[in-house]
Amino acid sequence: MSVSVKRVLPSRLLSFLIAFSVSLLMLSSLSLLELNDDSFIGKSVFQFILVNNASTYSKPNVPNTPTENFEIKDIASQEVDNQVSNPMNNVEELEKYERKLCDRGWARLKVYMYDLPTEFHFGLLGWKGGKNQIWPNVSYENTIPSYPGGLNLQHSTEYWLTLDLLASVTEDVTRPCGAIRVQNSSEADVIFVPFFSSLSYNRHSKRHGKQMVSVDRLLQERLVEFLKGRKEWKRLGGRDHLIVAHHPNSMLFARKKLGSAMFVLADFGRYLVQIANLDKDIIAPYKHMVRTVPYVDSATFSERPTLMYFQGAIYRKDGGVIRQELYYLLKDEKDVHYAFGSAQANGIKQASKGMSSSKFCLNIAGDTPSSNRLFDAIASHCVPIIISDEIELPFEDILDYSEFCLFVRAVDAVKRGHLLSLLRAVTREKWTKMWERLKEVSKHFEYQYPSQQCDAVDMIWQSVNRKKSSTQLNVHRKNRYRRSQIVQGTN
């Protein structure tokens, strides 16, 4: 028995040593392949394989859930950062590498953008290009026409989307790979209409002097005529076109004539359901007016002395009449700030300070169901209380707002004591959990140039991509019998 054991032990030990040696040899070979600049498998190829295996694009026909997309992209970025070594050890070289990885074939969304005359877009900002120049140079931020400040800025969505498409074909700009501009409309998933409709309404909707028609109305009429005459519009009746009309009063004339297109809107408050609805349209965030509170500087529960904050117009129409009722219920509460305010003078500065030092911020319906106050609260990491029964929220198909917002029905909010009892019952632990989530999602509501992964611009393109599938479904369903009739030679 003892002899048998002695014979078995050396045999097992020998097998273990052989397996261990083989493993070491394989690891050494992989290291040489990855790190040796003279290797027959170049470093860039090795890194490409690594990133591609970690990215959503490695499975082109198998869509991931949006949450998985966010996490996978972050992992891919970390892997690139970890693997990139000399000579790519500085910011400039890394940006060049990232641009190289953003291959046009990887883009989720291929977008054709009309070269409309400048008076439809950057000309509204006072920009005048050179001879035959339609678009400004977006390679450098100081050459890009700036958007007017104040309340104009909250509805500037079309400006940021247009810049992003221009940047997608500019080598000097690093941005996400979500949407790419293409020059051939037959290759496009979506046709983008670069009309700064909100700015046109804000600046040119009133007639001046002897004008019979406002400049805004003329631009809309010209736009309708242009689109209706295009082969791209006729192909699908405009269903693959993307038009931004973020200001509730923008495109008042044209919206009915172009209602088959996909709209990017603030809400559906002033639209007929036949023209705008969640089946085909996108709800985009306002650009917030207050400063963004840095993640590390966000005040905690105990550092926010005000329980609830609201500052804005108190007397409003339609769904906004509730603001007046709440004012009389809350104005004398010691830990509540409920006051009239505006964007003029120091109004925005005061709101920024007030929100960032409050635990909860009221977002109440105004003349329309939405307002930029919600996005001011998010930027301030002040837990929003949403009192707007008809509100539609940006990216709600992938974001669960109940994780970082409180919703109160209007009929309950005006009951004496109801709102304060609700808020005072929220524990420090519950509030902190919502606050942490709020800090995480706040990046999704930031407009910026260049755009960044999963910011407001990138999130809008992702939303358009998701809507694209339902648009194609509707088109294909309508083609069922039409194509059969063509084959059969009937009308």
List, for residues 168-205, the tens digit of each pLDDT value: 999 889 999 889 999 999 999 999 999 999 999 999 99
For residue 312, the model assigns a pLDDT of 86
Half-sphere exposure of 145 (CA within 13 A, CB side): 18
13 lies in the same domain as 60: no
Q: Is 360 a member of any domain?
A: yes
**Residue 101: count of CB within 10 angstroms of its CB:** 17
Q: Does residue 57 sit in the same domain as residue 162?
A: no
Could you tell me the CA-to-CA distances from 408 to 331, 334, 384, 412, 418 in Å, in that order? 19, 22, 11, 7, 10
Residues 53 and 71 in one domain: yes
**Do residues 163 and 300 both lie within one domain?**
no
Q: What is the pLDDT of residue 22?
A: 59
The answer on 120 and 87 residing in a single domain is no
Domain that holds residue 437: 295-445
Residue 364 domain-assigned? yes
Burial class (CB in 10 A: 0-12, 13-18, 19+), 84: middle
* 168's tokens: 């997608």
**How far, in Å, are 285, 289, 299, 440 from residue 436 at the CA level?**
20, 22, 11, 6
Cis peptide before 450 (omega within 30 of 0): yes
For the entire predicted model, the pTM comes to: 0.78
**What gap in Å lies between CA 39 and CA 238, rounded to an integer?**
52
Q: Could you give the maximum distance between any two Cα atoms of the chain, in Å?
A: 115
Identify the domain boundary among 101, 122, 143.
Answer: 101
CA 482/CA 491 separation, integer angstroms: 8
Predicted pLDDT of residue 171: 87
End of a domain among 57, 73, 101?
A: 101
Q: What is the C-alpha separation between 135 and 116, in angstroms, rounded?
A: 10
In a domain, 489, yes or no: no
Regarding whether 435 and 301 lie in a shared domain, the answer is: yes
Q: How far apart are CA 174 and CA 170, in angstroms?
A: 9
Task: Answer yes or no: do 203 and 335 share one domain.
Answer: no
Strand duo 306-312 + 358-364: pairing:
parallel
Q: How is residue 205 written in tokens?
A: 């909707």
How many domains is the chain built from? Answer: 4
Give pLDDT, residue 19: 64
In a domain, 72, yes or no: yes
Q: Are residues 271 and 317 in the same domain?
A: no
pLDDT of residue 14: 57
Same domain, 204 and 136: yes
Confirm whether 381 is domain-assigned: yes
**146 and 225 both lie in a single domain:** yes
pLDDT of residue 269: 93
Q: How far is C-alpha 379 from the chain's CA centre?
A: 14
Q: How many CB atoms lie within 10 A of CB 250?
A: 27
pLDDT computed for residue 88 by the predictor: 43
Asked whether residue 209 is domain-assigned, the answer is yes
- Inter-axis angle of helices 43-54 and 66-83, to 10 degrees? 160
Residue 490 lies in a domain: no
**Is position 452 within any domain?**
no
Q: Is 297 exposed, middle or buried (0-12, 13-18, 19+ CB in 10 A)?
A: exposed
pLDDT at 482: 60
Is-contact 351 264, C-beta < 8 A?
Answer: no
> 132 and 119, same structural domain?
yes
Residues of the chain with pLDDT under 70: 1-105, 316-320, 342-345, 470-491
**Are 274 and 137 in the same domain?**
yes
